[in-house]
Amino acid sequence: MKYWIDRFEGEYAVLEDESRNIHSLLKKEIPKEAKEGDLLIKIEEGYVVDKETTAKRKKEIKDRMNRLFE
């Protein structure tokens, strides 16, 4: 399963899954380097950050914003 980190609220990470459902997860259960906007992938041992997909999505958003405000 894949989850986007929407935001952090206190001890929790608020995640959005592929079906746009919202979940809360303790921050200690995700990688320490995880940031808002990162894609997490659930694996048997826990969660990992998909750095490649995260970077691609952030670039797409930045490009859209640039086109919008040109």
Residue reference for tokens 């894609």: 39
The predicted model scores a pTM of 0.83
Domain limits for position 38 = 2-68
b/e code 26-59 from CB counts within 10 Å (16+ = b): eeeebeeebeeebbbeeeeeebebeeeebeeeee
**Residue 36: which CATH number?**
2.40.50
Write down the mean pLDDT value for the chain: 95
Separation of alpha carbons 67 and 39, rounded Å: 24
The number of domains in the chain is: 1
Model confidence pLDDT, tens digit, residues 39-53: 999 999 999 999 999
As to burial, measured by CB atoms within 10 angstroms (0-12 exposed, 13-18 middle, 19+ buried), residue 13 is buried
